[in-house]
Amino acid sequence: MMRTAVLVLAGAVACVSCAPIEEQAEPIAGLSTDRQCFFSRQINGYGDAPDGPRGDRIYISTGVRERFLLETFGSCPELDWSHAIALDTRGPSSLCTGDTATLIVPRGLDRRPDRCTVRVLGRMIDQD
């Protein structure tokens, strides 16, 4: 009986030590994570952003001096070489901080486009 209790306790300690630790998000200079939204029809360009620990990042331009930072869930292979992208929001035409959407990235004439899930990290604030 005592031996069984020790084995159960050892198993519980082993399970606790394997529990995932919530990774603290590293602050990004100039990023406001307050809830802010944009309409997909406002997008007028995009640009490369430094990659994050979880995936590729891009800036989406939505107006004069207004851009949002998006991050993929994992790698989006053709994103670095693409000259065009699209967002499939599957629902409302607006996206807000924390929302997810599908990024559609062309792969060539004879191949289906990549579909990568992205999350809106927030709006970039100019620090002039």
For 80-108, what is each residue's pLDDT tens digit?
A: 888 888 888 777 788 999 999 999 998 87
How many beta carbons lie within 10 A of that of residue 37, not counting itself?
Answer: 15
CA dist 9 and 31 (Å) reads 45
pLDDT, tens digit, for every residue of 47-86?
Answer: 989 888 888 999 999 988 899 999 999 888 888 888 888 8
Cα-Cα end-to-end distance for the chain: 70
Q: Per-residue pLDDT for 114 more than 80?
A: yes
Higher pLDDT, 118 or 17: 118
**Residue-wise pLDDT tens digits, 17-36:** 444 444 445 667 889 999 99
Q: In the block, which residue shows the tokens 């200079």?
A: 29
pTM: 0.73
Domain boundaries, the chain: 29-124
